[in-house]
Amino acid sequence: MKFSRMCSDLSCDDTIEPLDACSSNALIINDEHLVQICKKSEKSGEPAAALLGRLLILPKLYHLPSKLSTPAVEALLEFLQWHTAVMVTHVLVPVLQYCPETGEQHRDVVAHLVSECSYGYVTQMLSAIAMRVSIRDDDVQIFQLLCDHADQQSTATHKAALAFLKKTADKYKTYVKFGQCLLFVVKKMGQYIEDHESLQLIVNNHSSSLKKAIEVQMKKAKKSR
């Protein structure tokens, strides 16, 4: 299908919900069309860009079966630069919150895009992943990526990070990669997090090989409060 025909077939309803946009009837474009869409959106206004993001780019990433091609990733980076709010709010946030089967391919997309996002947008993504109904192994690694690029002294960041840790702590209490996330949060944010009791409880219940290192950092965080 030609790009112009594909775009003309889009619904003009800009109130469509993310899960409706990603239904089994969604149009799933290939990488070549994704590149065309992103490049042709440079001069688009925000309403048009939001429609493209919600109805074409979001379903593409939501149902992504494998890593994107390099040209597709580069095109997404361009779209992000031109329409940052659209890319984060209408694409990345819904993917992180609702996609039932996140995998390495989603982690790869986040890894390429997150460094181009402001602190505020990274916090939005942290909040989204913390609201997931079901947490998968790759979500833990995506969480780590987001924490690396977040404003580590922001109250909003602390709330989102702690919400994710609370939700995943029991399931991943022996998981080293979760331990790495917990260690990072305690080391970088521990002294600033207001709900210190909840953080301490998560640390106490953790039992991976990183437990001692986490406890050491927790003691340092307490002294620095």
* Structure confidence by residue, pLDDT tens digits, 97-154: 999 999 999 999 999 999 999 999 999 999 999 999 999 999 999 999 999 999 999 9
Q: Where are the alpha helices (H) located in 114-154, listed in sequence order?
A: 119-130, 137-149
Residues 17-37 have a mean pLDDT of 91
Residue 46, Cβ neighbours under 10 Å: how many?
12
How many whole angstroms separate alpha carbon 37 and alpha carbon 29?
10
| pLDDT tens per residue across span 176-220 | 999 999 999 999 999 999 999 999 999 999 999 999 999 999 999
Alpha-carbon distances, residue 121 vs 29, 67, 118 (angstroms): 26, 23, 5
Give yes or no for residue 10 having a pLDDT over 70: no
Q: Sorting pLDDT into bands at 50, 70 and 90, what band is 24?
A: confident
pLDDT for 14 equals 54
Residues composing the chain: 225
On whether the CB atoms of residues 143 and 181 are closer than 8 A, the answer is yes
How many whole angstroms separate alpha carbon 117 and alpha carbon 72?
18
pTM: 0.91
